[in-house]
Amino acid sequence: MDHSPASAGALDAGAIPNTGAVETRGIEPVLEHERHGRARELFPTWVAANISVLLLTMGAGLVVFNGLSLWQVLLVGVCAAVVSYGMVGLVSIAGKWGGAPGLMLSRATFGVRGNYFPGAILWVARFGWETINAVTGAYALLTVLDLLFGIGSSTPLIVVTLFSFVACTFLVSGMGRKVLAVCNTWSTYLFGAFSVLVLGYLVAHVQWGEVFSRPAGSTSLLIAGIGTIAAGGISWVPSGPDFTRYLPGRTSGRAIVGTTVSGAAVVVVPMVLMGAVMAAVTPDLASAPDPVSFLGDVLPTWLAVPYLITALVGMLLINSLSMYSAGFTAQTMGVRLPRSLAVSINAVISLVGGLVLMLVAKSFLSSFITFLTLLAVSFSAWIGVFGVDMMRRRGRAVRYHAEALTDTGRGSRYWYAGGFCPQAMAAWLLALGAGLCFTRTDWFAGPLADSWIGRNGLGWAATILIAALLFAVLPTPREALRPADADVDVEAV
């Protein structure tokens, strides 16, 4: 088999157990004898992935902009968590099948070269998500400084706080999965405890008659709200296998999906609801110049400060998890650096993008909603194609071939035609284009944005469906018809 220089010896490197505190493994598959743990260990990961005060702002937006009632907001939160993180959980199963990161497994779907195209879009979208979180973290730190010491925001302080947040994110993400797992567990406990205190305060001080008396909003705005909240979860779908590749192949797929959904829902649903309740107290919450300072108006200082600090840690971990996955994406895209150093690319871009958003952009929330809308469509095209490819592999004895995943030469099993899987690329491109046609943002409107799908914000769902149907009806790729014993399976080594 023809191995490229970048992949030569990857399997040998992967055979060395990664037992230190700092993870040194890159994108090479994890062999079965190195795998350990249980699905329940994913719970704190997906709790930590959602510890963001942005959910409060988005929950408030469902009331202020969408005009939804509290019960409708509850429905939105539940549906968004189940749908988006259900997809995260299902795609995460591929991680225990192949022992490799999501964008590495994607080579088997799109081809060695074809994978660069969806990978590039997902990588760019990841930059945007990390920038949004970095800005939110910086605003949280600015709010704490204002509440405790009366220090007002200024351009030099914005630069310092944003740089500090990104630097801490870079350090934690560079340490790897073991450090992240410990941080996620403790942040789950702390944030959960303070969230209970905030909930108790709201129960005691909010005028509940006014909250429950709000009329219900339209069905179309309710459906659109589900898509908005779900977009955050959809962005994690390609990263799901990154956190399950160390699980044994025998791990229950149902347990992976159940733990993923429950870990996310236990944060998403109450946070969105609390944001809706806070909107009744502070109606201009959703249109605040930044997504954090409102907490100083809604909560007393003794509660707002520790809550913001724990949320700050949570947002740092969200970005650390994102950068952890982005390091794999960079390596898959051909960046010849160790994962911990590849993460630095995302850190620099987050810093520059964050400064633009904090110092130049006129409206944080408007920019954020536009980003979420485009984010959901860009990730959905990949989800539809990869999901069908997973279904085709389900009954195979050998699902992903370790050598082929690391081999970028012409002899690779996943070379297809010139390094591209034509069927996957066609389905992905057409679905992505169709999804954009249904999309409307502040600065862009597709030709079908006024259709029923467009008005209800279902461009992301249409994109997944179109990608899946096209790839399913196109001729099955040649690789899927090859005998299973033609290569070595990662679980059989």
330 within 8 A of 347, measured Cβ to Cβ? no
So where are the chain's domains? 32-396+408-478
Q: Which of 326, 316, 383 is nearest to 86 (CA)?
A: 383
Q: What percent of the chain has pLDDT over 70?
A: 84
pLDDT (average), residues 337-359: 75
Per CATH, the architecture of 32-396+408-478 is what? Orthogonal Bundle (1.10)
pLDDT of residue 411: 86
Lowest mean pLDDT among 8-22, 35-49, 268-282: 8-22
From the CA atom positions of the chain, what is the Rg in Å?
Answer: 22
Q: Do residues 459 and 448 touch, judged by C-beta distance below 8 A?
A: no
Question: 85 near 355, Cβ under 8 Å?
Answer: no
Q: Do residues 6 and 335 lie in contact, with contact meaning Cβ atoms separated by under 8 Å?
A: no
Query: Of 41-55, 230-244, 450-464, where does mean pLDDT reach its minimum?
Result: 41-55
| Tokens standing for residue 358 | 């904090």
SS3 445: strand
Q: What is the pLDDT of residues 400-422, one digit of tens each?
A: 888 888 888 888 899 999 999 99
> How far apart (Å, rounded) are the C-alpha atoms in residues 138 and 135?
5
Using pLDDT thresholds of 50, 70 and 90, give the confidence band for residue 323: confident
Q: How many angstroms separate the Cα of 134 from the Cα of each of 91, 271, 279, 319?
A: 27, 19, 24, 7
Backbone angles phi, psi at 389, to 5 degrees: -60, -40
**Could you tell me the two tokens for 317?**
């971990």
420: β partners = 417
For the chain, what is the mean pLDDT? 82
